[in-house]
Amino acid sequence: MRYLKLYARFIPIYFKSKTEHGFGFYMDFIGFALTHVVSYTVIWALMSRFQTINGWNMYEVMLLYTLNMLTYAVAAVFFFFQMNDVEDDVHKGSFDSLLVKPINPFIHMIIRSFGHFFLGDIAIAVIMLSVCFSHLNIHLHWGSYLSFVVMLLGAVLVQASFIIITGSMCFWIVRARSVKNIVIFGIRGFVDYPISIYSKIMRILLTFVIPYGFVNFYPSHLILNKEGGSLFASWLPYTTPIIGLLLFFIAYRVWNAGLNQYQGTGS
């Protein structure tokens, strides 16, 4: 709780420092947001031609993309640039500064920065989520709404876990951004579309090995009440929060293993 209060005080200070840059600060939002406008346009063009992809219509595919974007953006606010800073600190030899503070280095890593770039993504995702729900005639009552929020939180933990795991590779290989780019910007992109369109090997990979399928594909089966197509087991969509918690626990263990591996500068 003490750390949350500290972070709550830090965020207004952070925004005050960033808004001093004026136009550049607002361009951070616009630049990140425009990439998603292009992606939605691509989906619209593709679905206008083919109507459905393996039984998924345009707004269902847009829902998949939106859930992927939303959960990643929320996770990235708290972990993406923070893990980049860790990599830079390890490379420069200044990571020792996190180890001498009277605070858990993991908590310190989170609260010393804030990924304001991704707030524009969150805003667009919320708007598009409303658009998709409206066109798909999805109406959540309080019970299903609560379940939806819990699944979203589980998906956010999945996204955060891969940011932490790939970022923690810097303790072993110093420059880990190539690994991060492959996993986060490469493999994660596969779930922008239904994973049921891929080969069985790819579906296994995205479900049991690098389970990005739990970010949007499996939760969408519950939201859309889709029959079948849940692939390996009908109960899998319900396990999203468990998968998220388990992955985050693994990510934290990887982080701690990296700390134990870190040797410092020796000076």
DSSP letters, 10-32, are HHHHHHHHHHTTTHHHHHHHHHH
> Which residue stretches of the chain have pLDDT < 50?
267
Q: What is the pLDDT of residue 175?
A: 76
Q: What is the pLDDT of residue 23?
A: 66
Distance of alpha carbon 84 from alpha carbon 99, whole angstroms: 17
Over residues 144-185, the pLDDT tens digits come to 889 999 999 999 999 999 999 999 999 888 678 888 889 998
Residue the block writes with tokens 């180890």: 99
Q: What is the pLDDT of residue 54?
A: 87
In sequence order, the 6+-apart residues with CB closer than 8 A to the CB of 95 are 86, 89, 262, 264
Coil vs helix vs strand at 57: strand
- Other CB atoms within 10 A of residue 70 CB: 25
Q: Shortest CA distance to 156 belongs to which of 214, 206, 84?
A: 214
